[in-house]
Amino acid sequence: MDHLEARVLRTCPELAALADEWDRLYAAASPPATPFQAHAWVTAWAGAYVPAGELFVVTVRRRGRLVAAAPLFRDRRGPWQVLTPLGGAQSDHSDVLVAADERGALDALGRALLDAPGWQVLDLPELRPDAAARAWTSAWPGRVTRLPASTVLELPALPLPELLDRMPAKSAKTMRRKLRKVDQAGIEVRHVPADEVPQAVDRLIRLHEEQWTGRGGNPEHRRERFRRHLTTALTRMVDDGTATLTEYSADGEVRLGQILLLGHGTVSAYLAGISPRLRQDVDTAALVMRHDPEFAVQQGAARYSMLRGLEDYKFRWRPEPFVQERLLLSRPGMSGPAYVLLARARAGAVAVVKTRAPWVREMRDRVVRRVRR
């Protein structure tokens, strides 16, 4: 039987050199990988976020062919050295990649991780229900801890009239009125070509900042490293068809920019920047939904994902929710379990707040009602 060979890559040039091989593995992975494991995404994120010497990408080969990869980096969290996915909090799904015809490669990835020194816990924060890394739980030699993570909302990729038919009659009538107003607004839609991505990312981030002025928002989206990551990743992903950057213009001015990620039968709405002036004129959620589901159908996708978050506007469309999982795998020994106990305590504290805070409880109940309708 051919021997599986594992290696840990510790530098960004080593990771960058795998582009073609990684893309082939991404295309052949089973379960299907998400765009957050695409080479363009993880390499750009590593270049923008990972300090020198902290990259920790594990690769497995058979007869020279790349058959599995774990895109990780080492992050110091208090006294613990933690391995966690490239992409960080900017990625909605975590996982490793394993070729469909190489199931034993997942075990080889796990053994390579355990053989590599310098870490106490592997922390995979956002595993989908079908994630490959979940299989590690059955035979991992150290402590295994599973915690609920984010809720993701998805729709079947259907033409807009069929999505409207899924809604309660009154809600559908209201939405059709909003869509007519969108159609009358004369808004132009275009997909940005790869050579214009840097300028389009600048416009999107500027609109995103305007959208959230005085309302909080994610401070990471205002940092230069986030801009650099998006620009580098999307330039390549738009070129190879794994992402699109869509701009909506009125009166010759871009009023809305949106990033869609494409991969393995799913189109995912990642990030948008919306002019407050446009929000005064039309329902911008209706505007985006006028475009996105039809685009997903044109791409041959089976699913349209709204990704993480329980924003109220998403529930108008009766999406199908699923809860992701945070998986903590401790190296055998005494130090890892302490990190796990802290993570569990923090997760419990968040759950208590969500249960007892009146406004959170109201939001939770609203979500449940809307999903069940």
Q: Is 44 domain-assigned?
A: yes
- What was the pLDDT predicted at 210? 96
Say yes or no: 162 and 145 in one domain.
no
Examine the domain organization and report whether 32 and 114 are in the same domain.
Answer: yes
Q: Kindly report the pTM of this predicted structure.
A: 0.91
Tell me if 313 is assigned to some domain.
Answer: no
Distance CA 319, CA 166 (A): 10
Q: Show the CA angle centred on residue 324, arms to residues 289 and 55, nearest 5°.
A: 100
**Rounded Cα–Cα distance for residues 34 and 12 (Å):** 21
pLDDT, one tens digit per residue, over 307-360 is 999 999 999 999 999 999 999 999 998 666 778 877 877 765 455 444 454 544
Q: What pLDDT does residue 207 have?
A: 98
Span 247-297, pLDDT tens digits: 999 999 999 999 999 999 999 999 999 999 999 999 999 999 999 999 999
Same domain, 145 and 122: yes
Radius of gyration, CA atoms only, the chain: 21
Q: What is the pLDDT of residue 122?
A: 98
Do 14 and 117 belong together in one domain?
Answer: yes
pLDDT in tens, 89-128: 999 999 999 999 997 999 999 999 999 999 999 999 999 9
What letter represents residue 274's amino acid? I
Q: Which residue bears the tokens 């109940």?
A: 365
Q: What is the pLDDT of residues 192-218, one digit of tens each?
A: 999 999 999 999 999 999 999 988 889
Question: Ramachandran region of residue 153, left (φ > 0), alpha (ψ -120 to 50) or beta?
Answer: beta
Q: Is 94 helix (H, G, I), strand (E, B) or coil?
A: strand
Distance in angstroms (rounded) separating the CA atoms of residues 268 and 272: 12
Tell me the CATH number at 87.
3.40.630.30
* % of the chain surpassing 70 pLDDT: 91
Query: Does residue 316 sit within a domain?
Result: no
N-to-C CA span, the chain:
54
Q: Take residue 113 and report the two structure tokens written for it.
A: 């991780």
Q: Per the domain annotation, does 307 fall within a domain?
A: no
- CB–CB of 190/249 below 8 Å? yes
What pLDDT is stored for residue 366 in this prediction? 53
Record the tokens describing residue 292, joined without a space: 């996105």
> Does residue 119 contact residue 158 with C-beta atoms inside 8 Å?
no
* 225 domain-assigned: yes
* Total structural domains within the chain: 2
Q: Report the DSSP beta bridge partners of residue 58.
A: 8, 70
The mean predicted confidence, pLDDT, of the chain is 92
Q: Which two tokens stand for residue 119?
A: 């870490």
Judge contact between 320 and 123, C-beta under 8 A: no
Amino acid at 189: V
CA within 13 Å, CB half, 28: 17
Residue 343, domain extent: 4-149+324-372
Domain membership of residue 80 (yes or no) is yes
Residue 370 has pLDDT above 50, yes or no: no
141 and 27 together in one domain: yes
Residues 135 and 29 in one domain: yes
- The yes-or-no verdict on residue 162 having pLDDT over 90 is yes
In a domain, 318, yes or no: no
Q: Tell me how far CA of residue 369 lies from CA of 167, 315, 335, 351, 352, in angstroms.
A: 14, 10, 43, 19, 21
On whether both 179 and 216 belong to a single domain, the answer is yes
Give phi and psi for 359, each to the nearest 5: -70, -35
What's the average model confidence in pLDDT over 143-162? 97
C-alpha distances (whole Å) from 114 to each of 122, 210, 329 are 10, 46, 10
- Give strand pairing partners of 65: 62
Q: Please report the sign of the dihedral spanned by the C-alpha atoms of residue 201, residue 205, residue 211, residue 217.
A: positive
**Model confidence over 178-197: pLDDT tens digits?**
999 999 999 999 999 999 99
Q: Are residues 54 and 11 in the same domain?
A: yes
Quickly state the pLDDT bin for 52 (edges 50, 70, 90): very high
Same domain? For 292 and 193 the reply is yes
